[in-house]
Amino acid sequence: MPNASTLDISAIPAAQRAAVLALMDEVTALKDIARRQEHLIAELNHALHGKRSEKLSEDERQLAFEDLSIAQAEVEAEKEQRAAKKSDAATKPAPRRTIGNLPAALPRIEKVIEPDSLICPCGCGVMHKIGEDRTERLDIVPAQLRVIVTVRPKYACRSCTDGVTQAPAPARLIMGGLPTEATLAHVLVSKYADHLPLYRQSQILARAGLDLHRAVLADWVGKAAFHLKPVVDRLAQHLKRSGKLFMDETTAPVLDPGRGRTKTGYLWALARDDRPWGGDAPPGVVYFYAPGRAGENAETFLTGFNGILQIDGYTGYNRLTKSSRKGGAPVLVAHCWAHARRKLKEVFDRDGSDIAAEGLRRIAEIYAVEADIRGTAPGQRLSARKARSAPLVAAFGDWLQAQRRKISSKSRLGEKLNYIHNHWEGLQTFLTDGRVEIDNNRVENLIRPITLNRKNALFAGHDEGGIAWGRIASLIETCKINGIEPFAYLTATLTAIANGHPQSCIDDLLPWNFVPSN
């Protein structure tokens, strides 16, 4: 099949042009999938058969296989979806099972799905039952394992041979797989909210008599992550429409099988939280994974955002304020007073510096104003800041410059004062807009669950695992800050996707639009 560079599109008849272009796009997409799959297979083989000097410990190998298997499952899900679009129900291959029979000791709950009508279409009368199809799927409710048995009776007419009827099988997110959507939600919440790696979940299930290998769980997580991607992408789009966002980044150690050790990846948190000033937009957070901390990653993640960005003092964000910024207009930066205070606190805790103590006292006065106006409307906040905070900030600025003239810039305290000086413009942004917070603490609080997961899981097993980590964590943490129970939300959302939820109504699947069933 020629590509766009070798094929003269204009030479193709207009009636066939659209079909040819669609086919070329499909070929390109399949090539990309194949390349990604080949890369992942090579990574798996290297983790398993690498040089003796690069051999991994059992925990390291399990985590590597876990995340690579998740990524591989995502690729398979994309291939299956593309194949499903090109074939009708009559030509679809038989669904494949990922495990043998479920333990007989597990309780069974039968759900009988009857046809809408038992009247023979030929008018012969009521049909009678001639058989049934039975399928079993593993279902998990918290602290309980059970098996959902779906029974679909078959009915036929006694007077003719054409009147067989049966209710259609219920939709599944993973065709031919054992897990219900609630089971998938349980595995996701256990891994990304309760910080249980899949091989540990497998060990827990084994104690209940259920033999589910880590690779099976990884397959489930990868497919779920694939189907949830459009929801997370839409969540990011909603956040980037805001006039003000928070951003922060934290390390995400990632296994590098080629070197037999970990490398440092990063999860970047982009968050909205307008509750301190009574904003109508619901809070949310999206985590983007990148293999490094370069500022160009932040620039890429913020494509389409134009507004005020509340950040710490990391210099990588500087490119966002320049006219050469890609993906939008230069952003207005609001720097974090908590970081400024932290710099002085480090010096005070170390040597009890009187100058650092005075700086902390002055910052405390500014924070006292913020405590008084928290929760009020932006206009009220701005008025109070102009009247009360602006003089305090101006006095702090004069004090800062006076101390910098007296103290060596190479001393520990001098370095801290220079940090505050270098971010002075951004530290004053909160005086010009009542929506802006005095610090970046909102997004720092949203980074903590990532840190806890990192501590328990040690590291991600692969860069692709970092991407899935960020995607699922985005939905779970957005649920939590909106007071939504993540397991209930993910169960309902995965079920809706399995039942063909329309792309045009994807906003209905965002966490803040979830309505728990009674």
Q: Does residue 338 lie in a domain region?
A: yes
Lowest mean pLDDT among 53-57, 219-223, 407-411, 505-509: 53-57
Same domain, 274 and 163: no
Kindly tell me the burial class for residue 117, based on how many C-beta atoms sit within 10 Å of its own C-beta (0-12, 13-18, 19 or more): exposed
Q: Does residue 274 lie in a domain region?
A: yes
Task: Say how far residue 41 (Cα) sits from the centre of its chain.
Answer: 24
Lowest mean pLDDT among 134-138, 188-192, 262-266: 262-266
Q: Does residue 222 lie in a domain region?
A: no
Q: Does residue 158 lie in a domain region?
A: yes
Q: Render pLDDT for 475-503 as a digit per residue (tens, 0 to 9).
A: 999 999 999 999 999 999 999 999 999 99
Q: Render pLDDT for 60-84 as a digit per residue (tens, 0 to 9).
A: 566 666 777 777 788 788 888 877 7
Of 166, 163, 199, 256, residue with least CA distance to 70:
199
Q: In the chain, what is the straight-line distance between the N-terminal and C-terminal CA atoms, in Å?
A: 54
Same domain, 312 and 424: yes
Q: Does residue 298 lie in a domain region?
A: yes
Burial 438-468 (b: 16+ CB within 10 A, else e): bbbbbbbbbbebbeebbeebebbbbbbbbbb
**Does residue 184 sit in helix, strand or coil?**
helix
Radius of gyration of the chain (CA): 28
Same domain, 254 and 352: yes
Same domain, 151 and 267: no
Host domain of residue 143: 100-175
Could you tell me the two tokens for 150? Answer: 């779906």
pLDDT at residue number 458: 44
Which residue, of 125, 140, 175, is where some domain finishes? Answer: 175
The whole-angstrom separation of Cα 456 and Cα 196 is 7
DSSP string, 383-396: HHIIIIIHHHHHHH
Residues near 501 by beta carbon (within 8 Å), at least 6 away in sequence: 508, 509
Residues near 498 by beta carbon (within 8 Å), at least 6 away in sequence: 171, 172, 173, 181
453 and 192 Cβ atoms separated by less than 8 Å? yes
Same domain, 20 and 162: no
Which residue, of 149, 175, 201, is where some domain finishes? Answer: 175
Q: Does residue 325 lie in a domain region?
A: yes
Same domain, 139 and 251: no
Q: Render pLDDT for 123-162 as a digit per residue (tens, 0 to 9).
A: 888 999 999 999 999 998 877 888 999 999 999 988 887 7
Same domain, 281 and 420: yes
Which residue, of 143, 175, 207, is where some domain finishes? Answer: 175
- Number of structural domains found in the chain: 3
Same domain, 160 and 262: no
Q: Render pLDDT for 2-18 as a digit per residue (tens, 0 to 9).
A: 554 556 676 777 777 77
Which ranges constitute the DSSP H helices of 431-508?
Answer: 441-457, 463-481, 486-498
Q: Does residue 398 lie in a domain region?
A: yes
Same domain, 434 and 339: yes
Q: What is the pTM (predicted TM-score) of this model?
A: 0.79
Q: Does residue 310 lie in a domain region?
A: yes
